[in-house]
Structure 1
């Protein structure tokens, strides 16, 4: 799950006028992730006073957090025309510069934002720190540096402590993050996000039970604080994923808590889309289809809805709708395409090209694999989800197709399935060619499989079966020297394991295969060696017809 972008705005020093109260209400709504409520409040303030710089800045920041950069810039530009706190909008423009990787322009805007600060002001520094963190190109080092300036002025400022905790968290400095969150909550015990973030640290450390306990402490303080239920949902999801034995119960807990989160935030289209993202993660596709159809009823023109329809349609067996929906999503201008979009598109094309008897249309399969590879290029973790699909093809003896799927995982050393996928890739190539004549074998694929077993031995030197498969593959390639070398290596490694291993029937069978293969490789160049190895076979397996007949031929 992608890290939820932390979005919190410093609550300005209290003021008695209605405007200040309203903007603080908007900031509280933002902290509670009630973004539609916050936008409504802020727009009402701006309508009453268009020149309100802070309201324009905060509203622009909300839009920026929701990835609506055009609207964000409109409000930042409006804020620059304000008579009150117009400097804040330079910070928003600075974040847009950071998103565009223009750090010099961003720094220039931050300088404009701070040049007229009063000696005891800190909010500008907090906002700049957040801009560095919430940029599409986060810079936690600079965020920490500017937030330290705020804390030098006001060491017990709870919002500055919360923000620097988030910066340390982003920089993977868990110890300092924990201390900052603790200090922030001590400075202001109504700042529930600071206490919640301590639980987030536990979640990321995979201390799921302790994280849940921490989140429940937040709920005990305020059962209506929505974001904590999102964190609970994500914790249960991660627990289910990392401990499959808990999967059923924890995935249901994840869904229940996410629905509670939604009920306490808002039911805007944006929140429904976040819900849809979560349903994809927990694989609740029936619910996803319901949510997607509700979104269409609410907003028929938002192209992002097609993503959810595509995912749900594939999982629910409607591949034509899946292909059309996902292609419509990918083609729509402005959509941010992710690896999973191409994964589902590829799987849908393969499923569409698969007949009822399991036979696969090769052109459809190849098109699907090409899309899946695009997805893996964008998000390498996706490769880890392909193993079961590959094994299903292998089980149906569709070895060429299985190899194409396993090759994807075997190409990614960082995948947790790297070794398993590599082995399956190699043996799929072998079995796919074993029954073919010398003229029809795919020698390029066999060479690639042989090289893959070399990589497996680098990653796992004790995987002795690799030598056996390398011997078999080189038999198909008619490379006598490598047949001898690899089978002898297998015999040496296996013999070193001792008598108990050598007594196993499965091991005896493989040793006999090795002796016969080595003997056959020697037959045309060194008859004495060939005879020696065939005799070794007959010691282990006196009834071995191949060895016996081969010896007669050699003599």
Structure 2
């Protein structure tokens, strides 16, 4: 024997090992995969079992597999059950039940019941497995057209009454499913507790317990059961699916997406399950994984939502022109009642992110129109106003920016100090100085002297509003600023500039309006304290003293940025 083994190539040994492993697969292995929704793996096992041993039992489980698929294959199931019936001289009763189940899942409830009644009569109601399988057939589908939970309970209970071996959890699991279909959570949970006491199929049972609690909206208990299921068998995929659903209810979309992905990885998921994951992945901005899974099913699903999801993801990833096309395709294909305000918002965001300098102004205008439509339709999923403000700011459309700030503040009714400052800044830049002055008064009121820059900007607004003002209307504002500046802040460069500006203005007022040369000289010397090269102060002192003042030369202050600072907060 050893010589023979040594003479075999590595590949030949591998083939033999694989063959042995395949033949070692059991019905229970197939059912375990079926319970875990690994349908291809389960099908491979059941098909190989029939090929290696075409017994009535193996044919029954092959047919049962075809009935248990998300989309039952009734033709193949019927073929398997028929072979199972014919495999014995006396027609096998379980395969006869299978043929009745095919009728049931075809919608022929009356024909199925007639067959089941005949089988029960032939077995004299003493075969617990037959009774159980009849009851299980009535509960195999969740579609009311193809199930009868009352008949399921009746037959499974009858099976339990005659069952000699009391350690089969499948009876109670199927009974629980029947009660679940009746929306009768108490008896369903009792049946599952009985099954759990047998120490088998722990992950399956805890998952079903989680479903019962979930259906009853007892989410913490459902989560506990599903965690128990995963602890018992980390590869039991349905537990992750329902755990994902719980996190979705809680609004914990990151955990919902994570568990939805684990379900995909550990099962052989349907296209619907993959589509659900894509939606969750998009919600948590995992655009790469969302795109990968969506690409897998894009040509396999007819649901037009695929265009929306692809378009949304493309916009978020910066592939904006293509994203717009896909969202518009969704709107074209989907009925009106599936359209969302967000669709228009995403199209709008797509237009403003298209990289096309030649058509930037046009695209921005179209984008703003779409986003305004989304706002009008009540979409609150994205702050489109911030996007619109950013467009106007980048384009230096200060008048539009100010008008948009006004609209935002009027809509929310909760304007803050920074909001009023930003509004004032837009007014200053659009040369609406009187409006800026008013907005700055509100800014100062709301900041309550915790930030002093608005005083400086308000003083400037008064000057720019009336360049010929001979009353020096900005003086009280500068004086208030000077009275509030903390001593410690006077060493800061920004504060020094503002101090020099304030003292300079007040010095000119003292000289021209108050005719107080001493005060003017005092103020100008203070200007030079904070800005030694200040040209204005040097000239004023020269005019007062009648001789050139010491100091360097400095360019006039740059008023291209009338505000001179960003808002605090």
TM-score (norm 1): 0.50
Q: Is the radius of gyration larger for structure 1 or structure 2?
A: 2
